[in-house]
Amino acid sequence: MSEEGHSKKFSLFKKKTQKEAENNTADTPSATVFDETCLNFQLKGGPYQTSLIEACATMKVGPNIGMPLPLKCTWYRATNENQFTPIDGVYGAFYQPNADDIGCKICVHAVPVSEAEEYTGMPAFSEIGPIQIDPQVQSSVQEMLKINSGIFIANLIGGSSKELVPGYVIIKVEDEKMNIAYQNDKKIISVSMDREFPQIQIHHRTNTNFSIVFRDRKLDFSTDKPFERDIIAISIRMFCSKIITQGQSDLLFKNQELSSRLFDLNKDYEVAISALNLLKESNEKTNNMTEKYQTHAKELEIENTELRDKLLKQNQLIEKYESELKFLRQDIIMYKEQNETFELRLDQQKTTENGYALLLKIVKDDLNDIIRRSHPCEKCKIIVASLIEVFGKLDGNTDLCGGSSSNSSVRSFQDEISESTDENQDKEIRELREKIAVYKSRIKQHKQENIDILNKMESEKNFFKKKIESLAAENEKLLSKLAKTPKDVTDYEREIEELKQQNIALSSELKRSQELASNFDQLIKLNRKRLEEEIERNNELRKIFTKTHTMSTFDYQKIINSLTQSLADREEELKQIKHLNRELSNRVSELERAARQPISV
């Protein structure tokens, strides 16, 4: 709109000068507020994309009631209740819908513009739609889809290449190919739509301009009428959707194949999991048996150590008793020799006593002869009588013993008796009495010593006899224990041999488990390889279909997402299988180490 027209349109709403305002003060009792309550707002147009949409507002109060108001509008495209996309470049009261608006609601926020008064209310809001495709446009597009081809004429106005020459061109779509050429058949571009999906961009600022975007270039076009632009945009998009639909059928077929393969993989996976569970149970049983046998082996080892300690102590005790027996035998031999010596001495003492008795008899006879031959005094007779009495007592005690000193004493006594006749008789008698008393005490002392020696020898003999009997009984007990011990050791050796045989059986079972685990590992690797191949194929398909334009159908995207999710689940399951396989390998290694450790005896 020109500056002159703009000034004319808003001439009615110019602000009054101060003088005019003072003149009208008396006529106007109070100033009114300019807000949403002062106007009527409505949105006209639709319901097809070829219909023009107009936002209009009129005054409903005041002196200018019914007067239209200029509006500043912001237009939105609502794809659903919560998603609003602003339409750039359109701020006026009119909007021409296009192919992008089919199936969407058109919303507008409008604010009145006035130089006379400032608008203080809320923006006016309204919506229309959803916009439908024009029946004529729809029939034209359906005819092209039936024959699978379409020819369009548009004006080339520019593009990403500087070599392009503006002018009318022919856009031809046939057999999944798009050819764009000038009217003189000079080719501009030719692409295969199943490999490169062209995208249609509609220029909303104009009613006839649009662009076709290829992989490496962009072409700008214009048409004579708005509906022609919509026919070209909708037709090209439908051709692309048709190709995508065919690709979706192929993709569904591939998806079925993938599903069957995934089903087979799931079966193999379940078999592998069940086998792994069985293998785990077998390993747990093997571990329990191994722990049980190891515990039993430790107990047997402790018992063996205790038996060895007992046997060592018994051997030490036997050696001690043998050494004591050796010393006791030596003592017995020594005491026997001493006993024989004492018996010999007793015999000698008895012989000496017999000699003393004979000597006393001779002395007594000599005294009797002396008395008969001589006539001693009364005092001598008394002495001789006392001597005879003493000799009688000595003759009665024939069991007394004496030494060589007693014999010599008797002889000296005889000499003294023989000499007493020549010396003083009183003095001799006193000396004889003293000597007789000494001899009596000596004889009693020797007798008591002999009795003590005999008692001591008898007690020692009884003591050593009892000790020999106790040692013999202890020796018999030790010999009986030693006779039982080899049998216990033999039983222990037999149990050790049984444990060794069980250890060998466990080792063979462990080898079988390792072979089974390696077979499952190979099976998992094979399934993983197959799955990786399927993932690569799916990635190739995804690369092909990711080249589609932004208006791809929801079903196609849903299939791609489901395939991606299923493959991601399979990859996660493979990771779990790897983790389980790693744990199984670690457990097998532990069993190998446990099997290689020898059982100490």
User: 45-65, pLDDT tens digit by residue?
Assistant: 878 888 889 999 888 887 878
156 DSSP β-pair partners: 167, 221
Residue 221: pLDDT over 90: yes
- Mean residue pLDDT of the chain comes to 74
Of 201, 203, 213, 200, which is closest to residue 87 (Cα–Cα)?
A: 203
Sorting pLDDT into bands at 50, 70 and 90, what band is 484?
Answer: low
Two tokens at 13?
């709403």
For the segment 324-342, the average pLDDT, to the nearest whole number, is 78
For the segment 159-179, the average pLDDT, to the nearest whole number, is 85
Name the more confident of 462 and 237.
Answer: 237
Of 251, 211, 248, 210, which is closest to residue 227 (Cα–Cα)?
A: 210
Two tokens at 79?
């794809």
Count CB neighbours of 575 within 10 A: 10
Domain 3-132 in CATH 3.40.980.10? The answer is no
For the segment 134-151, the average pLDDT, to the nearest whole number, is 87
Q: What is the pLDDT of residues 81-130, one digit of tens each?
A: 778 889 888 888 899 898 888 888 999 999 888 777 778 888 888 888 88
Residue 144: pLDDT over 70: yes
CA separation for the pair 418, 440 (Å, rounded): 22
Q: What is the pLDDT of residue 410?
A: 44
Place of tokens 């059986």: 505
Residue 20: pLDDT over 70: no
Q: What is the pLDDT of residues 381-428, one digit of tens each?
A: 666 666 666 666 655 544 433 444 444 444 554 455 555 545 555 665
Residue 430: pLDDT over 50: yes
CA separation for the pair 187, 193 (Å, rounded): 17
Backbone angles phi, psi at 371, to 5 degrees: -65, -40
For the segment 185-203, the average pLDDT, to the nearest whole number, is 84
Name the more confident of 99 and 320.
Answer: 99
What percent of the chain is modeled with pLDDT above 70?
A: 71
Name the more confident of 196 and 547.
Answer: 196
Two tokens at 378?
């009364």
Residue 458: pLDDT over 80: no
CATH number of 137-224: 2.30.29.30
Name the more confident of 535 and 120.
Answer: 120
Q: What is the pLDDT of residue 220?
A: 92
Residue 379: pLDDT over 70: no
Select, from the ranges 1-5, 260-264, 371-375, the one with the highest average predicted confidence (pLDDT). 260-264
CA separation for the pair 195, 176 (Å, rounded): 9
SS3 238: helix
- Please spell the DSSP secondary structure of 279-300, one letter per residue: HHHHHHHHHHHHHHHHHHHHHH
Name the more confident of 18 and 241.
Answer: 241
Where do the domains of the chain lie?
A: 3-132, 137-224, 250-296+491-596, 307-488
CA distances from 311 to 38, 301, 318 (A): 121, 15, 10
Report the predicted TM-score, pTM, of the whole model to 2 decimal places: 0.39
Q: What is the pLDDT of residue 403?
A: 42
Listing from the earlier edge strand, what are the strands of the sheet with 105-112? 84-86, 71-78, 105-112, 124-128
Count CB neighbours of 200 within 10 A: 22
- Please spell the DSSP secondary structure of 57-80, one letter per residue: EEE-SSTTTT-B--EEEEEEEESS
The DSSP symbol for 37 reads G
Angle at which helices 226-373 and 425-545 cross, to 10°: 170
3-state secondary structure 78-102: ECCCCCEEECCCCCCCEECCCHHHE
Lowest mean pLDDT among 27-41, 541-555, 559-573: 541-555
Residue 524: pLDDT over 80: no
Sorting pLDDT into bands at 50, 70 and 90, what band is 547?
Answer: low
Give the CA dihedral 532, 535, 540, 544, nearest 10 degrees. Answer: 180
